[in-house]
Amino acid sequence: MADILCIGAGYVGGPTMAVIALHCPQHKVTVVDINEKRINAWNSDHLPIYEPGLQEVVERTRGKNLFFTSDHIGDHIDQADIIFVSVNTPTKTFGRGAGRAADLQHWEKVARQILEHSNSPKIIIEKSTLPVRTAQAMEQILNSNPSNIHFDVLSNPEFLAEGSAIQDLQNPDRVLIGGHGTPEAQQAVETIVNLYANWVPREKIITTNLWSSELSKLVANAFLAQRISSINAISALCEKTEADVEEVAYAVGTDTRIGPRFLKASVGFGGSCFKKDILNLVYICEKQGLHEVAEYWEGVLKINEYQQARFVAKMVSAMFNTLAGKRITLFGAAFKANTSDTRESPALVVCRELLAEHADVVLSDPFALENAKADLGADASKVTFEADPYKAAEGAHAIAVLTEWEDFVTLDYERIFASMVHPAFIFDGRIILDHQAVFDIGFNVYPIGKAPKQHFHWPPTNGFQAP
């Protein structure tokens, strides 16, 4: 039996440890966090995050071999054989590299905390996404202890996506474990390989050197985001040429060399990882003097910002060049469906831009309104939050679909149309609605990457121009 500890009970640490506990009943898994409120939520019926299937896994393991606590963190560190570190590594907001580099202060604090409370050798695992070669700094801090306790630092990045985290953890494409080539480090790698082998087929467990593992996480996210920016860039061209972005994505994606996934055009990607990790990659490249490489990846972020700005510009121009005083209902606040997470959500970017146009914004989402309120900060007071989409749309001039929740597909749009101000507009930022059907009801419809369907001629010249 091993004593496994995870520091950081967030979106990554909580679900990952719950699945490890489920598949490794022989091991004791403890999750600690400095945030007592979050730990209390993990111990309640209302988990701090919404994730399909998570509640069930937690109920099956909590109190048996899975424990959440914010007490006596030092004692738990001391008792642990294996420590996963899953604390947040946001983009730095101050000093050198502000706005681009990763803020490693939590990571370093945790390393020092581990050092302070350890009396026996341990395997320390980087679960948080970190810049390449962070493990080196960690090793230096950890191995600076006067009592010569041995620590092996491994990298085991998480590839789970929110909304499908449990499925991704139960049946991952691969598990990546990076470690040094020394016999001790290789033994530590083998320990973690054996841990995952409790439920993951061996051939899906990849082992690499430490730096490859750290960098692979950043690169995987950069590649995924790049595909979205690629198709989003093409969506702009589709709108000008009457090509249909879904048809183009399908035609392109059926080439097995390209593949069909992550080619869904949208109002832009959000989430806590893509932007942060690409900024980090760009910063690392720049620091290494690789300016062309940095510029290449920065382009992925530029297109993402362009796509969101373009969406709002289209709303303004389609609605007769003014949104001031108009009630605009946003369907979706979460950065993607099946999560309550609103971090870097394009919905909130659009919301803020509409407020800047003096629109009267109503935000509707089945699970994410609480997080949206917190993330909007001072702007929240200018927004109406309404979970019921029918009430949210009442009296609105326009609806913008910003999260691909299935709930929004199956609404009664005839009822919604009847309750709105006419002419009524729908801007589909996720391409999920039946555009012909809503057009036939009477809506003017503007999907990303497709020709609009309008009941009148506007603007007077062909195509949309931002005011």
Residues annotated as catalytic are: 273
Stretch that binds ligand UDX, among 105-113, 302-310, 319-327, 436-444 (CB under 6 A): 105-113
Q: And the tokens for 247?
A: 């048809």
Instruction: Tell me the C-alpha to C-alpha distance, in Å, between residue 466 and each of 302, 310, 315, 427.
Output: 18, 8, 9, 15
In the complex, least distance from residue 370 CB atom to ligand UDX, rounded to whole angstroms: 15
Taking residues 387 to 426 in sequence order and writing x for each that binds ligand UDX by CB under 6 A, - otherwise, the string is ----------------------------------------
Stretch that binds ligand UDX, among 2-10, 194-202, 351-359, 456-464 (CB under 6 A): 2-10
Measuring CA to CA, which residue among 452, 409, 461, 454 is closest to residue 235?
452
CB 94 within 8 A of CB 113: no
The 10 Å CB-count burial string (b at 16+, else e) for 269-282 is bbbbbbbbbbbbbb
Q: Which is nearer to ligand UDX, 186 or 208 (CB)?
A: 208
Q: Count CB-CB contacts under 10 A for residue 69.
A: 17
Instruction: Out of 23, 28, 122, 264, name the contact with ligand UDX by CB under 6 A.
Output: 264
Q: Which runs of consecutive H residues, i.e. helices, occur in 145-209?
A: 165-170, 183-196
Q: Which is nearer to ligand UDX, 61 or 345 (CB)?
A: 345
Residues ≥6 apart with Cβ < 8 Å to 106:
87, 88, 89
Instruction: Out of 30, 61, 118, 129, name the contact with ligand UDX by CB under 6 A.
Output: 129
Taking residues 272 to 291 in sequence order and writing x for each that binds ligand UDX by CB under 6 A, - otherwise, the string is xxx-----------------
Residues ≥6 apart with Cβ < 8 Å to 395:
327, 419, 420, 421
Does 128 bind ligand UDX (CB under 6 A)? Our answer is yes
Number of residues that bind ligand UDX (CB under 6 A): 41
Q: Which is nearer to ligand UDX, 234 or 323 (CB)?
A: 234
In the complex, least distance from residue 166 CB atom to ligand UDX, rounded to whole angstroms: 13
- Strand 66-69 to 28-32 pairing: parallel
Residues ≥6 apart with Cβ < 8 Å to 435:
428, 445, 447, 450, 453
Instruction: Out of 54, 110, 238, 312, name the contact with ligand UDX by CB under 6 A.
Output: 110
Residue 327 DSSP class: E
Site for ligand UDX in 313-352 (CB under 6 A): 335-336
Site for ligand UDX in 23-52 (CB under 6 A): 33-35, 38
In the complex, least distance from residue 319 CB atom to ligand UDX, rounded to whole angstroms: 24
Q: Which is nearer to ligand UDX, 159 or 306 (CB)?
A: 159
Does 365 bind ligand UDX (CB under 6 A)? Our answer is no
Stretch that binds ligand UDX, among 56-64, 137-145, 173-181, 263-271 (CB under 6 A): 263-271
Side-chain half-sphere of 148: how many Cα atoms within 13 Å? Answer: 0
Q: Is 410 exposed, middle or buried (0-12, 13-18, 19+ CB in 10 A)?
A: exposed
Q: And the tokens for 403?
A: 């999260």
Q: Count CB-CB contacts under 10 A for residue 166.
A: 20
Does 8 bind ligand UDX (CB under 6 A)? Our answer is yes
In the complex, least distance from residue 264 CB atom to ligand UDX, rounded to whole angstroms: 3
Site for ligand UDX in 146-165 (CB under 6 A): 158-162
Return the residue matching tokens 């999560």.
339
Does 88 bind ligand UDX (CB under 6 A)? Our answer is yes
Site for ligand UDX in 222-251 (CB under 6 A): 224, 228
Q: Which is nearer to ligand UDX, 109 or 358 (CB)?
A: 109
| d(C-alpha 106, C-alpha 91), whole Å | 12
Q: Which is nearer to ligand UDX, 10 or 178 (CB)?
A: 10
Which strand ranges, in their side-by-side order, compose the sheet holding 82-85? 66-69, 28-32, 3-7, 82-85, 122-126, 151-155, 175-178, 205-208
Which residue, judged by CB position, is nearest to ligand UDX in the bound state?
10
Residues ≥6 apart with Cβ < 8 Å to 44:
none
Instruction: Out of 4, 5, 6, 7, name the contact with ligand UDX by CB under 6 A.
Output: 7
Does 109 bind ligand UDX (CB under 6 A)? Our answer is yes
Does 447 bind ligand UDX (CB under 6 A)? Our answer is no
Residues at the interface with ligand UDX (CB under 6 A)? 7-13, 33-35, 38, 86-89, 106, 109-110, 127-129, 158-162, 221, 224, 228, 262-264, 266, 269-274, 335-336
